[in-house]
Amino acid sequence: MKISWEELSTDQDLVEARPIESPWRQVIRRFCHNRLAVLGLIVLVILCIFSLLTSWIAPHDPAAIDLFNIQSPPSAEHWMGTDDLGRDTLTRLLYGSRITLVVALAATAIGVLVGVVLGGISGYYGGLIETLIMRFIDIMLSFPTLFLLIILSAYMKTTVLGIVSIIGFTSWMGIARLVRGELLALKAKEFVEASHAIGAKDARIIFRHLIPNAMGPVIVAGTLNVGYAILYESSLSFLGVGIQPPAASWGNMLTNAQSYVMNAPWLAFWPGIFIFVTVLCFNFVGDGLRDALDPKLK
């Protein structure tokens, strides 16, 4: 079979004209094809913007008490009603979003950092170090998370920093096991052997070469952990061992509302729906990132 120069040059032009898509562009394109993930990301961005601009957009002072509008239903003046002290529910929800999101994001960052470091060391070195770290993880996982959080909160100050530390240092175990598994598969690759051959130090190999190649699953797990952190903070605040009044968080707003569910149901409805929607959106984004970062998907 003979191929003319004209046909060969035409095929070559088509190949050269085809754009080469970078890996991150592929990830963004696959993520954008997931409508629920995009919707969840938009909702979270809007919520973060509102929480940052709360001081300017809040309709009332969060500590202002109006004795003439106690437990008033939603109205033109108070869009989401007022609580048992006459405080505006919408304003307290906006201020509470700051605390809830800061606690969730900071606790997740601590959990990811600790998990990546311990998981990276365990997966790279193996042997006795791996055994000690993995057995410690098994011990930590044997405790019910909520009970462990309650016990720790009884011995620590229930400030924002204290709640962040409690949740962060009890949520790293899954990340560590995930990173360990990824590094066990990666450390046998040729680029690791090449790094050893040129005399690279262990710390450089772990944190410069291995962990960046294992960050896809870690990003997904971290995104999903944000939702769990919100639930943990809300649970602690609901049980009275989390963020303490007069500071507002969605969890302690639910605590204050439980005595008035029959008379003023909006006091429990709005914090509950905010928690539900936020956690659901983080789960949507996590699922979208998991699909987008999967190298087996085209």
pLDDT in tens, 41-65: 999 999 999 988 988 888 888 888 8
Residue 297 pLDDT level (bands cut at 50, 70, 90):
low
Q: Which residues on adjacent β-strands are paired with residue 88?
A: 82
Residue 8 pLDDT level (bands cut at 50, 70, 90):
very low
Residue 159 pLDDT level (bands cut at 50, 70, 90):
confident
Q: Which two tokens stand for residue 189?
A: 């690759």
H-helix or E-strand spanning residue 86: none
Averaged pLDDT of the chain = 82
Mean pLDDT of 8-17: 48
**Alpha-carbon span 244 to 198, nearest angstrom:** 55
**Full-model pTM:** 0.81
Q: Residue 174, Cβ neighbours under 10 Å: how many?
A: 18
pLDDT of res. 235: 84
Q: Which two tokens stand for residue 130?
A: 């791996």
With a CB cutoff of 8 Å and minimum separation 6, the contacts of 246 are 63
H-helix or E-strand spanning residue 280: helix 266-292
With a CB cutoff of 8 Å and minimum separation 6, the contacts of 148 are 170
pLDDT of res. 43: 93
Write out pLDDT tens, residues 200-234: 887 888 888 888 888 778 888 888 888 888 888 88
pLDDT of res. 154: 75
Mean pLDDT of 165-178: 89
pLDDT of res. 41: 93
3-state secondary structure 185-242: HHCCCHHHHHHHHCCCCHHHHHHHHHHHHCHHHHHHHHHHHHHHHHHHHHHHHHCCCC
CB 167 within 8 A of CB 233: yes
Q: Is the pLDDT of residue 144 over 50?
A: yes
Based on its alpha-carbon atoms, the radius of gyration of the chain, rounded to whole angstroms, reads 25
Triad 291, 207, 285: Cα angle to 5° = 20
With a CB cutoff of 8 Å and minimum separation 6, the contacts of 87 are 60, 62, 63, 64, 65, 66
Closest CA to 226 of 173, 269, 180, 281: 281
In angstroms, the Cα distances linking 261 to 195, 242, 246, 273 are: 63, 21, 20, 14
Which residue reads 């011990």 in tokens? 139
CB 133 within 8 A of CB 118: yes
Q: Is the pLDDT of residue 169 over 80?
A: yes
Which CATH fold topology does 21-59+80-292 show? MetI-like fold (1.10.3720)
Q: Which two tokens stand for residue 54?
A: 């709360």
3-state class (DSSP) for residue 82: strand
pLDDT of res. 14: 45
pLDDT of res. 294: 66
With a CB cutoff of 8 Å and minimum separation 6, the contacts of 126 are none
3-state class (DSSP) for residue 71: coil
pLDDT of res. 15: 46
Which residue reads 């005595």 in tokens? 259
Q: Is the pLDDT of residue 103 over 60?
A: yes
Mean pLDDT of 235-248: 80
Q: Is the pLDDT of residue 184 over 50?
A: yes
